[in-house]
Structure 1
């Protein structure tokens, strides 16, 4: 049984959400990627090295997402003691997805308040990340990416709400891993392709389409939670 009640493979959906959230990822993390790249000494900026570092950053980042997903889903196992509680968590996840869509489309920035919750943790982690710079080796990049993965982000928090509803640490980790992989195209593209992709993803029409798609998906989830909906 699909624990999300969506009727679709959750990992595929999480991957698509990562793709649709590319506009937010570029806006929030694109500058970080550029700063990390330019922090590498010019004599060491070979294409192979930069590609390895970019891969390392993102490997560490996605690993942190998966750890967070497992922890949150583990909490979900303690909360889903009754069918009513499970439904309540699924409702919460659907509402968070809708809020994420409003955030992506730039219609409502309420998720910034949610991000503020994570800033306390980030104040302790940011100095750790700074000590790892400048990054010139892949292990350094993975370590820095693992720190970066805890950067306060409403998009990530929305997906963690879904992990909570999964109520299974392994599935929660897999869900966040699929989401993280979905964000890769927006963050790995380089050079002219990055500028073209960035312009396309940041375009208002693209953001609106992504937001409407996520809202439709969330509403479908809510419909599946109605009594008898799956049999109607």
Structure 2
């Protein structure tokens, strides 16, 4: 299942070009020194991976809490179904709902801070930009977080999100050096693969939760051991 995070990141990096690409283009990189430029870009990606790992730990912890109620398999099935449903739901379905207004307010503050950091060129500024970038709203990140939750451990949840982030690094780095890397027509065709792969991941989580006894894919649940105490009465 961890491999799916890396593949989702690689395929989803095309989606990231539309969401985070403008931020990558606006990075105050040193255009006169390739070594320094690469180092600054590395720090930026490190910040993004730190953000993804942090929220992955949180959602993995959430998944662990739910699994303590003995619903880990049901959780995996439910998240798989939710992934598939979210692919079919229009992107603006949740926009405007009051329950999400506090989140939008926090995101607005993050964007303001991000704008201020884009004016600086210090190493900590690139780390902050990457970290804040990781918290910006992105449907693909939400999908990855569902996968991190289904793994039901903080460590695996964090690792899942870091692998997802690593999958986005190559293309997000390439566009900084070559803005015309992909034509719009090619990008549009490849972006169509993202929802297809999300559905495949959703199916994998459903199969995983069914416990069909398939090694590494759908292992059988561990048998529950019950302890019984037998009391023997002996006649004197």
* TM range, smaller chain: 0.7 to 0.9
Query: What is the number of residues matched between the two proteins?
Result: 213
Q: What does residue 198 of structure 2 align with?
A: 214
1:22 to 10, 13, 24: 13
Encode CA deviations 1:117-155: one digit per residue, 9 max, x unaligned.
442321232333233232312222012211221111111
CA distance in 1 between partners of 2:94 and 2:41 (Å): 27
Q: What does residue 13 of structure 1 align with?
A: 4
Check conservation: 2:24, 2:176, Cα contact below 8 A: no
- Say whether residues 1:94 and 2:85 are aligned partners: no
CA distance in 2 between partners of 1:82 and 1:114 (Å): 33
1:31 to 8, 11, 22: 22
- Say whether residues 1:65 and 2:20 are aligned partners: no
Check conservation: 1:22, 1:183, Cα contact below 8 A: yes
CA distance in 1 between partners of 2:5 and 2:197 (Å): 13
Check conservation: 2:10, 2:168, Cα contact below 8 A: yes
Q: What does residue 69 of structure 2 align with?
A: 82
Q: Name which one, 1 or 2, has greater alpha-carbon Rg.
A: 2
Return 62-71 or 132-141, whichever deviates more. 132-141
CA distance in 2 between partners of 1:100 and 1:193 (Å): 33
TM-score, normalising length: structure 2: 0.76
Q: What does residue 195 of structure 1 align with?
A: 180
CA distance in 2 between partners of 1:150 and 1:27 (Å): 16
Report 1:166-181 matches (<5 A). Answer: 166-181=151-166
Q: What's the CA shift for 1:166? A: 1.4
CA distance in 1 between partners of 2:204 and 2:35 (Å): 44
1:145 to 130, 135, 140: 130
Q: What's the CA shift for 1:200? A: 6.8
Q: What's the CA shift for 1:157? A: 1.2
Runs of 4+ in 1 over 6 A off after TM superposition: none
CA distance in 2 between partners of 1:56 and 1:160 (Å): 23
- List gaps (5 residues or longer) in structure 1: 1-9
- List gaps (5 residues or longer) in structure 2: 220-236
CA distance in 1 between partners of 2:183 and 2:96 (Å): 26
Classify 1:191/1:226 alpha carbon distance in 2 versus 1 (closer, same or farther; 3 Å). Answer: closer
Report 1:156-167 matches (<5 A). Answer: 156-167=141-152
CA RMSD of aligned residues (A): 3.0
SS of the aligned residue for 1:140 comes to: helix
